Amino acid sequence: MTVRPIRIFGDPVLRTPADPVTSFDAELRALVRDLEDSVREPGRAGVAGPQIGVSLRVFSYNVGGVVGHMVNPVLSDFDGTQTEEEGCLSLPGLGFETTRAMRVTATGFDLNGEPLVIHGEGFLARALQHETDHLDGRLYVDTLTGDVRRQALRELRRVVPR
């Protein structure tokens, strides 16, 4: 079991779009195992490749006790909205009201290159969107607007070491 350390805000890998996975090999299978081991830690709902320093389009999730992963995800069929407090392992100790789609479909592949479709609703939809954002070099605070965004940026300046 390998739980990998999480990269923290300020690390350039978090702001760089991840590369598509092109080889479904032993290296990818080891990465997926590490991601799934890492997401099993208490209080974790998702871990993306960039969060452990690997710039590949793969993430794991742990929602309702179900642990899974997706390689090269593409999101579609956004429907409805939900606004809840959202946090991120790469922004420890911070959480802000964030609006996401209530339902979303993620299509991609499993670690063996087999097609995979996940229909997410509620918290699973939020996790799929959050983790896919990581693969695009985005953090949830990038989605915030207005006063909430200003508050988040103030908090980031306060807590992020310079």
What are the tens digits of pLDDT across the range 81-114?
999 999 999 999 899 999 999 999 999 999 999 9
Q: How many domains does the chain have?
A: 1
Asked if residue 4 belongs to a domain, the reply is no
Asked if residue 30 belongs to a domain, the reply is yes
How many angstroms separate the CA atoms of 119 and 6, rounded? Answer: 27
Distances (CA, A) of 118 to 12, 30, 69: 29, 22, 10
Q: Say how many Å lie between the first and final Cα of the chain, rounded.
A: 33
The sign one gets for the Cα dihedral 146, 136, 139, 158 is negative
Mean pLDDT of the residues in the chain: 95
How many angstroms separate the CA atoms of 52 and 5, rounded? Answer: 6
Catalytic residue list contains 27: no
What is the span of the domain harbouring residue 115? Answer: 12-159
What are the tens digits of pLDDT across the range 108-118?
999 999 999 99
What does DSSP assign to residue 57? S
The pLDDT, as a whole number, for residue 157 is 82
Asked if residue 24 belongs to a domain, the reply is yes
What are the binding residues for Fe cation? 88, 130, 134
What are the binding residues? 88, 130, 134
Asked if residue 108 belongs to a domain, the reply is yes
The sign one gets for the Cα dihedral 93, 99, 102, 103 is negative
φ, ψ for residue 15 (rounded to 5)?
-110, 10
Catalytic option among 36, 85, 114, 131: 131
CATH number at residue 155: 3.90.45.10
